[in-house]
Amino acid sequence: MADEEDEGGFGGLYEDGHWVWDEETEGLVFVSDLPPKQVEIIQMPTKAPTGTIDFRDDVDLIEQIRFRRRYQRKLKPGQADVITVQDVKDIALFTAPVNILSPVLINMLHLPTTERFIRALVLCCQYYLQIANEMTERIIKLESKVRTPQCEIVESEFRDNLSDLRLLVAKEYSTMLIDTKKFHHMGPQKKRRSLSDKDARFFETLLRMCVQIVWLALGRKAFNQIELEVNRMFKSEIFNAVEHTLKTGYISKMVKEERQVLLGKCVRQDKKLNTRSPLMNEVFCHREIDYRMMGLGVIKCQQLNPRILYMLQAVAGPEENLSELGIVLGIIGMPRNVFDTMLRPIPTGGDTSKSRASVSTQSYGSNKSAVSASSRKSQLFMPTLYPNIVLPAKESELTYFPSQFSDETEVIRPCSETQRRRWQNRLQRLLHPH
């Protein structure tokens, strides 16, 4: 139980002190010779914050040592030392402000369905940034070249890929909601009084935590762009609070071709009360959708094509197999020894990359009248830690529904119970330091 002993601190329990006889208890009592420690008093608000939630990104060396000793995932015998989703979650939980943490949030983050949802979100955001970069380059080239019919074919493939990945996120999110009914504020049987305000605040906290996890998994790049797109997918353009705060106007700055590719063809313009999120629109979109995508990671399907198999391994396969299969999921699946404790790449001799290269809020959009080609080149999202995603092409023939669906379930990969207990214990110590 060495891991449990690490939770207590760096030294032994009875060091730097002496024993004395206590007349009242009629027993020996240990008295420390060290000066009393300064206990950090943390004020816990009754409600989670609704404004900007800032995570720490300047963890000093002492804190890193403490994290590595107490909270970092320990390898099991024979286990490959690669970065997992759990490693990224651990960094996010360690650097999160304490006033947004709760036992329910920690439990929810350590569910297999939530982990699949996070992996689908990482895959979708990485491909979105990749295609946004590609479209920026194409718009630059169009200033000196003529648009051809081949452009429509290529961009149509980009658009369909993004739509499928958004659909995958929607599917995993819906599965997560079904699996987490026991965490609902009204109880599993829905017999209590509705607490919609509490539910909304928890949703905002979970969404912000997922944005942080995605940003860490993608090498700490393009934070604003990730946050804007995630909030747009879940809330629509009308209710995108991040855009209302930053006022980037990135969608209005897009040219027609960019908007069609990055937003897709399933965008519905309704009144505010009837507005659906882009994820919901993808589910009910009138387009050809492979039915097998709806059961990935849950229902075992036979005769998977390369495209569906890629998505299955990306969201539900072992992280140690991702590199061998050629599946890119940010830094997930990469060797952990080439990164430091906080999952920053260990610099080599010629590495001069910055630790947090987030895209400026002024870099969104493609209004050629407002942005020159030279300035757009400096705004490209250039991943250097990992290669681009190459999704297998769709099948030329449409896959029809079978006579009956399989009732055999996939083997669900469990989350780390040890890590869940560690974060719950840490939260309890922070909330009750005495």
Extract the tokens encoding 14: 């009875």
Query: Mean per-residue pLDDT for 91-120?
Result: 94
**Among 319, 297, 324, 320, which Cα is nearest to 309's?**
297
The confidence score (pLDDT) of residue 179 equals: 77
pLDDT tens digits for range 87-99:
999 999 999 999 9
pLDDT tens digits for range 54-89:
899 889 999 999 999 999 999 988 889 999 999 999
Q: Are 109 and 89 in contact (CB under 8 A)?
A: yes
pLDDT tens digits for range 181-217:
766 656 655 666 666 677 788 889 999 999 999 999 9
Q: What is the separation, in whole angstroms, between the first and last Cα of the chain?
A: 24
Q: Which of 85-89, 223-227, 378-382, 419-423 has the lowest mean pLDDT?
A: 378-382
Q: Which residues contact 152 (CB under 8 A, 6 or more apart)?
A: none
Select the more confidently predicted residue: 318 or 25: 318
Extract the tokens encoding 95: 């650097």
- Res 340 pLDDT > 70: yes
Select the more confidently predicted residue: 99 or 407: 99
pTM: 0.80
The confidence score (pLDDT) of residue 210 equals: 96
Confidence of residue 143 (pLDDT cuts 50, 70, 90): confident
Mean pLDDT in the chain?
Answer: 81
Q: Are 308 and 292 in contact (CB under 8 A)?
A: yes
Q: How many CB atoms lie within 10 A of CB 386?
A: 18
The confidence score (pLDDT) of residue 218 equals: 96
Query: Mean per-residue pLDDT for 224-244?
Result: 92
d(C-alpha 380, C-alpha 131), whole Å: 11
d(C-alpha 29, C-alpha 21), whole Å: 6
The confidence score (pLDDT) of residue 338 equals: 93
